[in-house]
Chain A
């Protein structure tokens, strides 16, 4: 395809080897339109990043169902993952709701998890248990606050929008705010005493509560947002159709498969479903520019 082999000067054995190595090196990275055996699946730094066993079980399940090698690709920020996905280096990715909504036209949803009976999640505002006087977001004025990612709906945008409703910005409302690039890390930062409060995705906090109760024990939820569509597993629209269908089928049939069911149990999810048409229909928070007309009371309850 590159046509390098037909050019004079590359005919010597040394050059042939060099060309082979270059091609092999380039082949190690997923590239668009190149037929390959490995399926590269991106993972947002939200799920599974500290659970190698579940990751391996999930990988094993997918490989068996797809009949191909599956490689999980993790990145520290949503932005990095979005960039990889949009550049076609990933065949599929489990991304967060906001990055999905930002470029939803470029993706096909392969499956949406059902958590506690519904494909929804929300945002929690948590505070350290040493701050009993903090009861609302307003009480966190002048405090130190931890966000997860600038592109995270539940870990940043929800709070930003709520503060906008109060006529405030995080930079001025809080004495100090920072990003931890992960929902789990928000809980750690609050529990460790680095921040007075933080914004965290409900699914992550719930999971941490059962897996690391000694950490979560030091935090307390003071506020819950309204529900949002659960972060989906998507594929770029230019992904091979058969792979896309197989991947989607693997997700949707997980519940029926014994090993798939085990993975679901490990993830504390009920199953994967095809998203209802209106699941992501109300995306006012998807915008990085929150509308000014949405009062905080609408968002938090």
Chain B
């Protein structure tokens, strides 16, 4: 059986079913008992009234007053309110003296079996000389009583009582009971619906609150913790969970802040280091020039040194500035072929196997220069990390409107420490300048994509996904 999912309807339905079952069982039991009792009562009553009728008609039968006998039994049938279906009076010879079965004139003087299957035959009657006999026959029961006067049997009174009136009464009872049950069911369904809604309301509220939490709104208030019972327990559990999540959120925020500060510090230190090195040389050169300012050779070499130092600083600063180039052309398959042509000699020189697999349409709606830079950085990083006799695999493909680049190598992989700082600038171990992954990260996030470490058992796997219609920054 398929129940509706909502508890509100389930409770209403279960209420109705339970009510129907209880009322049905109880009703059936009561009807059965009532029918049995009424039947027993009717049998006893029939026997009594039959004996009484037999006594009443005895004198008339004795005086052979057919009209009186007939009137008595006819009135008895009329007064019985359909409980008596037929009455017959037999004489001493078990022949029909009078009957209410019509037309009576056709039965007078005939043997008892002419009355039909509901009445016993003469053979049966001879067995009941002095007491009322009750037998169930033809949808009712038959009471046969001897008609006696001064100890002498004058004949037999046979009354067939129908159980139809009783059954009709039961049917009326069932009909009225059904209407009552229907009303009761309606009330029970309404009560069930109300109770279901009442029971489900806190659960629904909790579900709504959970949804809010899922969407990141930890300030949601469910107000269930003040209730008693299981719902209160649930509300308090939810509140504890919410508070725990709030604390965790705060800790994570603090950690991110601390990490950011640390990263900024490391970037500043790297920048300072990168600028400080040429600056030191330049300061020395200027100092030398100040002491030998008349020497044209010194002057020339000082200027050269200054130029190289400034050039280095310029390169360092320019590398830190990742610029968006909106007028860049679209990426196409030849870009990847160029990249393979550029990288392949390096790989061969380094003794690294390069597996290049690129399946793309002719044009992809992404800036070619930036993607080329990302691919170059990642593949060269992988080649350096792998070392001799290693293998690097590069795959590019389109998945759900995303350009997906995967670079896998079987080198030593990333240490936990490296994982934490892998996208920061000037981190050693990622390219010769320490800016390769940082630059790639900037470009990818700038294009609305993301880069992450993939799961591999050996080496490293970097997976880049860039939406072709993502928000560019």
Contacts and interface: CB of A to CB of B under 8 A. Distances in A.
Contacts of B66: 176, 178, 194
B64 to A, nearest CB: 8
A185 B67 contact: yes
A193 B105 contact: yes
Given A128-B103, A192-B74, 13 more contacts: A144-B108, A176-B108, A178-B66, A181-B67, A185-B67, A189-B67, A189-B70, A192-B102, A192-B104, A193-B105, A194-B70, A194-B103, A194-B105
11 contacts: A144-B108, A176-B66, A178-B64, A178-B66, A180-B67, A181-B67, A185-B67, A189-B67, A192-B102, A193-B103, A194-B105
B72 to A, nearest CB: 12
Interface string A141-152: 001101000000
B139 interface: no
B103 A146 contact: no
Interface in A159-183: 175-176, 178-181
The 10 closest A-B pairs by CB, nearest first: A193-B103, A178-B66, A144-B105, A180-B67, A194-B104, A193-B102, A176-B108, A194-B70, A196-B105, A193-B104
Contacts of B102: 192-193
Contacts of B98: 194
B103 A178 contact: no
B67 A175 contact: no
Q: Which of under 10, 10 to 19, 20 to 34, or 35 or more describes the interface residues of B?
A: 10 to 19
Nearest to A145: B105
B93 interface: no
Q: Which of under 10, 10 to 19, 20 to 34, or 35 or more describes the interface residues of A?
A: 10 to 19
Contacts of A196: 105
A144 B109 CA distance: 10
Contacts of A128: 103, 105
Contacts of A179: 65, 67
Task: Determine which residue in A179, A189, A193 has the highest number of CB atoms from chain B within 10 A of its CB, and name it.
Answer: A193
A11 to B, nearest CB: 46
B26 to A, nearest CB: 47
A175 B109 contact: yes
Interface in B62-88: 64-67, 70, 74
B155 to A, nearest CB: 15
A195 interface: yes
A179 B60 CA distance: 12
Interface in B383-424: none
A130 interface: yes
